[in-house]
Structure 1
């Protein structure tokens, strides 16, 4: 299992986060996003089915939804 130190300084990971990832991304597999979300205590993982590395309208929607959830 990965730890936060595998992704950089633990101080960076002190807040909630949304890890939005395209399921069809071949250059950065979804298991990497999954490992990051598991290592980050307050992270949410959203896998966007119809998106690859360059994004898609559904990926944009996922980002906008995350911003709304985290906005005061």
Structure 2
């Protein structure tokens, strides 16, 4: 649907409808949009080329308490 539409037509994420974004007042600066896409691609590439990825560092289990010693059982 988007490929057949005019240049200003896009998805309004707030309403969920395709409309003229300029008329709706939704204008992304090209530099901001390009920067967001470049950063997203950079992060995706880094994840794809990383041999290992740490997502959660498990906590070390504490050793159980020592049993109480005998008192005066000599």
Fold shared per TM-score above 0.5: no
Greater percentage in helix: 1
Greater percentage in strand: 1
Q: What TM-score results when the alignment is normalised by the length of structure 2?
A: 0.29
